[in-house]
Amino acid sequence: MPQRQSHGEKKPLDIVVKLGLGVLIGSFALIWGGMFLTRPDRSIPPFSIGSQAGHVVAAHVPPWTTDQQIETLLARFRKVGRQTHDFAAMKIQPTTPGDPEGRYRRIVVYIFTSDGWTEPEMLQKYLAGEPGVRVNVEKAVRGYYRLEDQEEEGRVGPISGPDAAGGATRILFKGRVTDPLPAGAEPEPETSLSPL
C-alpha cells in the first residue's frame, strides 16, 4: 500500500515543470543578452542613411539635433576614416566597391535634419546640378564629411548661401588622415560591448 504524503512535506517538481522553467529563464536571458549586445550607440546622435549614389551619401538626423551632436557624429566619421576606412558599421554601402585599394576610398556625406533632402530623387537632382535644387540642398546641409583617399574634411553648417558666408559654417577639420590630431581630439579607445 503506497504511503500517503503528510501535509508538511513538499512534493518535488516534475521534470516537465523543471524543463519549462529552464526554457522560460533561458529565453529571458537570451532576449536580455541580445538587447544588450545590439543596443544603439548613445555616444552619437541617431541617424539614418536616406540615400546613396556612388560615393555621395545623404544622411538624416532628428530635427532637434544640436550642432554639438553633429560635431560628435562627424568626429565618429573621422575616427572611422582614420582607423579603418570601413564605413559599413556606419550603415554606408561601399562607395568604391571595385577599387583594389579599398571599398571606401572616396566618400562624401551630407547630413540633414529634414528627411526630404535625403530622398533618392533629391540626391539625383542635386548630383545632376539642377540649379534651384543645388542651392537649396547646400543651404539645408547641417553637417558635411568628405574623405578622398587620404584627405579629409568635416564641417558643421550649410555649405553655401548667405548663412555659410555669414559665419554659420565652421570647418572642424581639414587635412590628411595621417596628420596628428590636435590635443584633446584623440579618438577614445574602443570599448567592447560583450559582457564577457
pLDDT more than 70, % of the chain: 81
8 Å CB contact between 124 and 54:
no
Residue with more model confidence, 53 or 168: 53
> How much is the pLDDT for 187?
44
Q: Say how many Å lie between the first and final Cα of the chain, rounded.
A: 55
User: In terms of DSSP bridges, do strands 106-112 and 48-53 run parallel, antiparallel, or are they unpaired?
Assistant: unpaired
Residues 35-89 pLDDT 10s = 766 655 667 888 889 999 999 999 999 999 999 999 999 999 999 888 888 888 8
Higher pLDDT, 189 or 35: 35
Reported as a single tens digit per residue, the pLDDT across 4-18 is 555 667 888 888 888
pLDDT value of position 196: 38
DSSP-assigned beta bridge partners for residue 53 = 56
Per DSSP, the three-state class of 109 is strand
Burial class, 159, CB count within 10 angstroms (exposed 0-12 / middle 13-18 / buried 19+): middle
Q: What is the value of pTM for the model shown?
A: 0.72
Could you tell me if 103 and 90 are in contact, meaning their C-beta atoms sit under 8 angstroms apart? no
